[in-house]
């Protein structure tokens, strides 16, 4: 999986609380078996109106936020069902991180396993980022996982905390398979000491 160390990008504000996974990626689009291709369905019921026409009132259809790679959202982001597709949709759309004051646990865990960063800031810090995102054209911030810091060029700076093991995995691009392969030498040595029974040998 792609490592996350430091990312700078345009910010889009999603000033809504309790954004659930069925809004992030509606259930009718869960038929794909690949992790890719879900971005075009992200926030589908909000992004589009009748006959698939873009909803001009939805923030991601505003030209000011075109190409945004960081999302600032209200509290309890990613609640609802446990679908991992929600993270896939955000990532496939182009987002690298979401900033909120709180996240649903399963969504946050799914994000970690896909190299997608969830940043918890205080309610006040999120509100300030939301204000700047709406008031400043082409507002960009830096999300620095090495320093555990979010900052902009206009004086905003906020530290965030993250579990040490999760941070290690993200910085090094290690999902569950990657973590296992770190022990490839030991696994191979074990297999040599314990050959497969003849019935299973090829």
Query: DSSP of 92-148, one letter per residue?
Result: HHT--EEEES-B-HHHHHHHHTTT-EEEE--HHHHHHHHHHHHHSTT-EEEEETTTT
Q: Note the pLDDT of residue 51.
A: 83
> Would you say residue 43 has pLDDT above 80?
yes
Do the bridges between strand 149-151 and strand 117-120 make them parallel or antiparallel, or are there none, so unpaired?
Answer: unpaired
pLDDT of residue 188: 66
- Interval 82-111: pLDDT, tens: 999 999 999 999 999 999 999 999 999 999
Domain 6-174 CATH assignment equals 1.20.1250.20: no
**What average pLDDT does the segment 108-137 reach?**
97
Instruction: Output the pLDDT for position 73.
Output: 98
Tell me what pLDDT residue 175 has: 74
Residues above pLDDT 70, as percent of the chain: 88
The domain locations on the chain are 6-174
Total-model pTM: 0.88
What is the pLDDT, as a whole number, of residue 6?
97
**Token pair listed for 64:** 């000011």
Looking at residue 186, what is its pLDDT? Answer: 67
CA distance 182 to 138: 41
pLDDT band at 50; cut points 50, 70, 90: confident
Asked if residues 180 and 173 have their Cβ atoms less than 8 Å apart, the reply is no
Mean pLDDT across the stretch 151-168? 97
pLDDT over 70 at 158, yes or no:
yes
Q: How many residues does the chain have?
A: 202
Kindly calculate the radius of gyration of the chain based on its CA atoms and give it in whole angstroms: 20
């Amino acid at each position: 999986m792609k490592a996350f160390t430091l990312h700078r990008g345009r910010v889009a504000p999603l000033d809504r609380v309790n954004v659930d996974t069925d809004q992030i990626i509606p259930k009718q689009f869960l038929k794909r078996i690949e992790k890719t291709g879900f971005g075009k369905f992200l926030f589908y019921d909000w992004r589009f109106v009748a006959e698939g026409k873009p909803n001009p009132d939805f923030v991601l259809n505003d030209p000011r936020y075109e190409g945004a790679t960081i999302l600032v959202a209200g509290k309890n982001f990613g609640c609802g069902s446990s679908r991992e597709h929600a993270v896939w949709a955000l990532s496939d759309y182009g987002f690298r991180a979401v900033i909120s004051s709180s996240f649903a646990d399963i969504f946050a865990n799914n994000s970690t396993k896909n190299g997608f960063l969830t940043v918890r800031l205080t309610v006040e810090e999120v509100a300030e980022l939301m204000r700047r995102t709406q008031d400043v054209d082409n507002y960009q911030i830096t999300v620095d996982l090495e320093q555990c810091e979010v900052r902009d060029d206009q004086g905003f700076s906020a530290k965030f905390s993250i579990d040490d093991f999760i941070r290690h995995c993200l910085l090094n691009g290690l999902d569950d398979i990657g973590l296992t392969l770190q022990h490839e030498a030991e696994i191979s040595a074990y297999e040599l000491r314990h050959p497969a029974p003849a019935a299973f040998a090829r």
